[in-house]
């Protein structure tokens, strides 16, 4: 027990009876601030999680760009008639994938050549 104090007491504050602090008694508002805080924390957590997933994917896969080379090109037909050019071109190209953990499958390849804004 505390001895009876006859003079001013400058020690630590004596807690209020009931166990509630002042910050909880004067809360005020409808709780929008608390909801905003929770949503903000959730958004930050999702952004950090997404960043970690991208970083882990990059470190595991280490993607590198695919490389395409034209090995051979032939013109089998080349006619210029009535201001119209008709040609058949055969291209042999090589595609190189330096990635060991990524692959590309080609079912069909189509190409279109345009010259000075003309359309096919």
Structure confidence at residue 43 (pLDDT): 96
pLDDT in tens, 52-97: 999 998 888 888 888 888 889 898 888 888 888 888 888 888 888 8
pLDDT in tens, 6-63: 667 677 777 777 655 555 544 555 667 788 889 999 999 999 999 999 999 888 888 8
The answer to whether the CB of 77 falls within 8 A of the CB of 83 is no
CA distance 110 to 119: 15
What is this structure's pTM? Answer: 0.41
For the CA atoms of 50, 55, 60, 62, the dihedral, rounded to the nearest 10 degrees, stands at 120
Helix, strand, coil fractions of the chain, as percent rounded to 5: 30, 25, 50
The ranges assigned to domains in the chain are 22-61, 64-109
């Amino acid at each position: 027990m505390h001895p009876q104090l006859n003079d001013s007491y400058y020690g630590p504050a004596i807690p209020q009876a009931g166990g509630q602090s002042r910050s909880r008694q004067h809360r005020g508002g409808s709780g929008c601030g608390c909801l905003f805080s929770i949503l903000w924390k959730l958004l930050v957590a999702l952004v950090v999680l997404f960043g970690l997933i991208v970083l882990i994917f990059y470190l595991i896969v280490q993607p590198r760009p695919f490389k395409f080379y034209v090995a051979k090109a032939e013109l089998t037909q080349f006619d210029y008639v009535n201001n119209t050019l008709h040609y058949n071109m055969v291209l042999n190209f090589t595609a190189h994938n330096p990635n060991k953990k990524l692959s590309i499958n080609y079912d069909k390849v189509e190409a279109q050549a345009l010259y000075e804004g003309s359309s096919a």
